[in-house]
Structure 1
Amino acid sequence: MAWSVSRKAVGAARVPQMFQRDAFFDNAKYLAIVLVAVAHSWEPLKGDSRALQAAYLVVYAFHMPAFIVVSGFFSRSFDGSPRRLRRLITGVVVPYVVFETAYTLFRRWVGGEDADVSLLDPWYLTWFLCALFVWRLTAPVWRVVRWPVPIALGVAMLASVSPAIGDDLDLQRVLQFLPFFVLGTCLRPEHFRLVRRREARVAAAAVFAGALGLAWWAVPRMDTGWLYHADSAQELDRPWWSGPPTQLALFGCAVVLTACFLALVPGRRTWFTPLGAGTMYGYLLHGFLVKGADYLGWYDHGPLHSPGGEVLVSVAVGVAVTLMCASPVRRALRWVVEPRMEWAFPPEAVQIAREREREREREKAAV
């Protein structure tokens, strides 16, 4: 009897560990989303400061690639099964429809813009949801081809010389950022352990210092449009042949800086580790704050265009996006960002989803 009780206790102890979230990845996602929000807040300010422009170049070179690589890593198991397709619909498609509509109305009522609701033309930051939907659907393909990353790089390079792709679903960004997602699907936990060593952390600090110096030099010489991956070379008024080599160079820089960023991410549990589960909330909500501040003229105040003002804006936005990732906001908006929608699926699918609720919790790290 005692042996039976002991065995049950051991089994119960093992279950939470099996589905335990990795603090390292939650920390990485939280820090990445803070960088995304802060960099967005710099856009109206950076024209007054070469130092801020340099920091902007460095952050924009890797912040979305880092977020996408981690998303790709957690999308490795996507196989197109009904359960995972259901999660793709509720966790990506539904939030896209809701927030694309909400942002369009926000542009009308707060920004005074003549904007129409169009699910084919993502605005500002909703492009990522379109991209994530397409990337996840392609995940099984990258598991069966022989050279996934080179093929994805080839697709990105071709996109950079193809202005005819157009703006529907922001396909330029979908295709040009694709190599980072594919790279994430190819990574294994041991690859992340390589960059978490002490030597890697020391090297990362030196690389970031050098990157800032290089960015300072590049500010008057580089078109930041390349970093957005939203246009072809021709649309940036550059010769078509400059697209592929620029894509390769940006990919190399982004991979190095992403590795350095991950090297500096703490692996232990910290006060912000729980916020890593709510990064999609911070991502989708911070646009209202940043764009709202711009629409309402808050950036017109002179003191904000000083070094002290730039720091104040950065800290304020960092705090705001932190609160947006917190549990109270997640509980209040879960019905729209992570809806269950059991009514929309067959009873069998709902039952399977309930039985695997713990696995669903683990899959939240993919978004």
Structure 2
Amino acid sequence: MRERDYYFDNAKFFLIILVVFGHFLRPHISENTFLHSLYNWIFFFHMPAFILISGYFAKNFHQKGYLKKVAKKILIPYLIFQLLYSLYYSFLYEENISFDFFTPRWGLWFLLSLFSWNVMLYVFAKIPRTYSLSLAVLFGLLVGFVEVEKWLSLSRTLIFFPFFLLGFLLKKKHFEWLFQRKFRVFACMMLSCIFFIVYYLFPDIQKEWLYGSKSYETLGVHGEIAIVLRLTFYAVSILMTFCFLSLIPNQKLSISSLGARTFYVYILHGFVLKYLHATEFPQFITETRSYPLLLFISIALTMILGSKPVVELIQPLVECRFTQWKQAIDRCSSFIRHLHKKSETAMKH
């Protein structure tokens, strides 16, 4: 059995924290320039890095049954949580239930795009890598001229596909090159410089450019300028992605196991986030200027949702194995009863 590569688990752990933190920041980015710049800085690389890593682990796409396995692992959870989020939104916002398979709810676009990227490999992997990457970038540039946006996540699928394809083409030796001390020093300097450039020179960058879900028409940009801006996004995102990845520890850490369970954090944190945003929590953060608290909450939520008990409880639902779900619930109930008995015994003494 191949030894697990903890480097990528570590990377995914820090990336999912940035994903959650970025979502918590969203209601506050109009309140000051620093938060807006920090939000854009994070969005320049956190999903591109996640997508690149996903591509790296798609190298077995040619094996028999791979696509069926991917469909079961990605499309089934997509359908389940598309329904659950639709029901949850209806309850939370007191609106009519609206279920649309073709327009992903919130962060579920990633699941639909991830499946599409794996399918696209069957074509792009047969093309010489130089041409395949160029073609992927070309599609990413051209899709902005079409008004597809969020439908079937087509816009994001094509715009972010170059990162997935690049990850697929990379080998472990390419990542090992990033571990050199001189590159890590360069990475720290470059990430810092880019933040200051965003903060001081481009504080009003449209965040929608970084989402990859809007057409050039919607963004209010046309022709050659749109192409140049998209190419700039690609260049900055690739640079920041490799700089970030060079700073990730290359050995097993206490958080490595959590990094292996980021899928659950990703699909579950929206329930907590949307609930808090529907309360007076954002107003409390604004009035008290408690923005650092959002980072601590993001870390805590990541560790809770990525914990083994939560994963054991949710995994049968994600994989449609309801017999195991009943067993997981029974184990949780037994554990709660055990804690209750211990507390009663302690109170008696």
Q: State the TM-score, normalizing by the size of structure 2.
A: 0.88
Equivalent residues of 2:36, 2:203 under 8 A apart: no
Question: For each residue in 1:307-348, what CA deviation from the matched residue of structure 2 results, as whole angstroms up to 9, or x when unmatched?
Answer: 5x1101221122102211121111111113345699xxxxxx
Q: Does 1:106 align with 2:88?
A: yes
1:116 to 95, 98, 106: 98
State the shift of 1:63 in Å: 0.3
Q: Does 1:45 align with 2:28?
A: yes
Looking at structure 1, the residues matched to 228 and 320 of structure 2 have their Cα atoms a distance apart, in angstroms, of 42
Matches within 5 A, 1:155-304: 155-163=139-147, 165-301=148-284, 303-304=285-286
State the shift of 1:87 in Å: 1.6
Structure 1, unmatched stretches of 5+, are: 1-17, 343-367
Give the counterpart letter for 2:27 in structure 1.
P
Q: Does 1:128 align with 2:110?
A: yes
**In structure 2, what is the equivalent of residue 327 of structure 1?**
308
**In structure 1, what is the equivalent of residue 328 of structure 2?**
none
Looking at structure 1, the residues matched to 190 and 319 of structure 2 have their Cα atoms a distance apart, in angstroms, of 38
Q: Does 1:154 align with 2:169?
A: no
Looking at structure 1, the residues matched to 318 and 247 of structure 2 have their Cα atoms a distance apart, in angstroms, of 29
State the shift of 1:46 in Å: 1.6
Equivalent residues of 1:127, 1:170 under 8 A apart: yes
Looking at structure 2, the residues matched to 25 and 59 of structure 1 have their Cα atoms a distance apart, in angstroms, of 19
The two structures, once aligned, show a CA RMSD in angstroms of: 1.8
State the shift of 1:81 in Å: 2.4
**In structure 2, what is the equivalent of residue 91 of structure 1?**
73
Q: State the TM-score, normalizing by the size of structure 1.
A: 0.84
The structure 1 segments of at least 4 consecutive aligned residues displaced by more than 6 Å after TM superposition are none
Q: Does 1:26 align with 2:9?
A: yes
| Total equivalences in the alignment | 321
Equivalent residues of 1:121, 1:170 under 8 A apart: yes
State the shift of 1:19 in Å: 2.1
Looking at structure 2, the residues matched to 47 and 130 of structure 1 have their Cα atoms a distance apart, in angstroms, of 30
Q: Does 1:314 align with 2:295?
A: yes
| Identity percentage of aligned residues | 28
Query: Taking structure 1 as reference, are residues 25 and 339 closer, same or farther at Cα in structure 2, changes over 3 Å only?
Result: farther
Looking at structure 2, the residues matched to 167 and 54 of structure 1 have their Cα atoms a distance apart, in angstroms, of 25
Looking at structure 2, the residues matched to 115 and 196 of structure 1 have their Cα atoms a distance apart, in angstroms, of 49
Looking at structure 2, the residues matched to 208 and 57 of structure 1 have their Cα atoms a distance apart, in angstroms, of 13
Equivalent residues of 1:24, 1:265 under 8 A apart: yes
**In structure 2, what is the equivalent of residue 336 of structure 1?**
317
Give the counterpart letter for 1:333 in structure 2.
I
Looking at structure 1, the residues matched to 194 and 203 of structure 2 have their Cα atoms a distance apart, in angstroms, of 15
Looking at structure 2, the residues matched to 204 and 54 of structure 1 have their Cα atoms a distance apart, in angstroms, of 19
1:35 to 13, 18, 21: 18
Equivalent residues of 1:23, 1:269 under 8 A apart: yes
Looking at structure 2, the residues matched to 331 and 88 of structure 1 have their Cα atoms a distance apart, in angstroms, of 20
Q: Secondary structure at the match of 2:44?
A: helix
Looking at structure 2, the residues matched to 138 and 93 of structure 1 have their Cα atoms a distance apart, in angstroms, of 16
State the shift of 1:244 in Å: 1.9
State the shift of 1:297 in Å: 2.9
Matches within 5 A, 1:38-77: 38-77=21-60
Equivalent residues of 1:90, 1:341 under 8 A apart: no
State the shift of 1:50 in Å: 1.3
Query: Taking structure 1 as reference, are residues 305 and 175 closer, same or farther at Cα in structure 2, changes over 3 Å only?
Result: farther
Looking at structure 2, the residues matched to 230 and 264 of structure 1 have their Cα atoms a distance apart, in angstroms, of 29
State the shift of 1:106 in Å: 1.0
Q: Secondary structure at the match of 2:261?
A: helix
Query: Taking structure 1 as reference, are residues 306 and 179 closer, same or farther at Cα in structure 2, changes over 3 Å only?
Result: farther
State the shift of 1:236 in Å: 1.1
Equivalent residues of 1:161, 1:241 under 8 A apart: no
Structure 2, unmatched stretches of 5+, are: 324-349
Equivalent residues of 1:39, 1:59 under 8 A apart: yes
Looking at structure 2, the residues matched to 39 and 93 of structure 1 have their Cα atoms a distance apart, in angstroms, of 25
Looking at structure 2, the residues matched to 234 and 170 of structure 1 have their Cα atoms a distance apart, in angstroms, of 17
Question: For each residue in 1:274-319, what CA deviation from the matched residue of structure 2 results, as whole angstroms up to 9, or x when unmatched?
Answer: 1111110000011111111111232122x44555x11012211221
Give the counterpart letter for 1:65 in structure 2.
P
